[in-house]
Structure 1
Amino acid sequence: MQGGVPLSPLKIRWAEPDDCTALGRVHSEAYRSAYMGIMPEHYLRRNTAENRERYYREALEKGPEKVAILIANDQPAGVMVVGGSCDDDLDSSHGEIRSIYLMEGVWGNGYGTAFLGWGIERLAEFGYRNAALWVLEDNKRARSFCERFGFRKDGTHKTITRGKELVQSRYVTSLNPHNEV
């Protein structure tokens, strides 16, 4: 229950090839909602359901990462990609939440908390002792969300170009509360 309102039926599972169309739609819509006002509109419009569907189809067929789907009220409402860390300066004990996007209509209802928690549990099951993720500095909502999960900035930054230059900060956490990152 979140804010006195019961959560609607929620299902989280690994995505299958038949989910690619839904994954593409959820990712593109959630991406635009998450980055409106942060990334230029012309860039956000390029992130279409069709190109995201192609990405997920290839990821499910070839990629080493795993793709999860969140279903709320019998409708796809979130997508998450997890795997080993892509960063050369982190050792093999680090898994990574490579992306997590939820439809704006489910924000603030506890779904994101359930979804990220599920992803962190999967990383621990895969044998990772630590988790990392990257967050845009300008995305205060996402930074606050990750910090509530115990993720902390480790001082690593990178500049990416998404219609303009943006700074990402890396956040890390231990998956074992008695283990230092």
Structure 2
Amino acid sequence: MTLSLRLAQATDIDAIGALHYDSRIAAYRDFVPIAGLRGLAPESLAAWWRERFAYEAETHRLTVAESDGRLVGFSYVGPEEEHEAGVGQLYAIHLDPAAQGRGFGRRLMSDALATIDRNGWRRAVLWVLEGNAHARRFYERGGWRPDGREREELMGAAPTRQLRYVRESWLGESA
């Protein structure tokens, strides 16, 4: 299986919404009530991405991963959401559940860190659900560490605790 990364196009948004939906169900179903996860249908997630893609096109980068002509993942990178100077944020990496374990997520992470570097941000942050042990291990293997900041947000009606991870240095490294 070959993997290629490219900037997302407006025509990718429906597929991104569907993949985001499937990824959320697979990743979060063991610790977030399924009703909360199913509350945002693929069409709703596509509409959310369509709006975000249009609104943040100048400051953020939505990258898609394709394998054999099929969308298998995406990442989203931009300035840190609280506008902390010199800090970029990895907002999302989502993979088709069937594509996990093939190095695609690591390729998306490396690409995201390269984007952060090209933008002149010398520090990177991301938020991950506390209960998502799989994602936390993935990020920790990639050199990310929790920095002690936490927040709680609703996913559907379910409160979820999120941990902020940081990566201070990555130049010249592969994730």
Question: What are the Cα deviations for residues 143-163 of structure 1, in whole angstroms up to 9, with x where unaligned?
Answer: 000011111111101111223
Residue identity in the other structure for 1:75: R
**Structure 2 stretches lacking a partner, 5+ long:** none
Identity percentage of aligned residues: 27
1:157 and 2:150 equivalent? yes
TM-score by length of 1: 0.88
Residue identity in the other structure for 2:42: A
Report what 2:49 is aligned to: 56
1:124 and 2:117 equivalent? yes
1:124/1:175 contact within 8 Å kept: no
1:3-42 pair list within 5 angstroms? 8-42=1-35
Report what 2:160 is aligned to: 166
The alignment of Structure 1 onto Structure 2 pairs a total of residues equal to 169
| SS of residue in 2 equivalent to 1:37 | coil
Provide the rounded CA distance (Å) in 1 between the counterparts of 2:169 and 2:43. Answer: 35
Shift of 1:46: 1.5
Shift of 1:24: 1.0
1:97 and 2:90 equivalent? yes
| SS of residue in 1 equivalent to 2:166 | strand
1:140 and 2:166 equivalent? no
Provide the rounded CA distance (Å) in 2 between the counterparts of 1:122 and 1:99. Answer: 13
Residue identity in the other structure for 2:122: R
Find runs of 4+ consecutive structure 1 residues off by over 3 angstroms: 175-178
TM-score by length of 2: 0.91
Provide the rounded CA distance (Å) in 1 between the counterparts of 2:47 and 2:159. Answer: 25
| SS of residue in 2 equivalent to 1:29 | helix
CA RMSD between the two structures: 1.5
Report what 2:74 is aligned to: 79
Shift of 1:177: 5.5
Residue identity in the other structure for 2:34: E
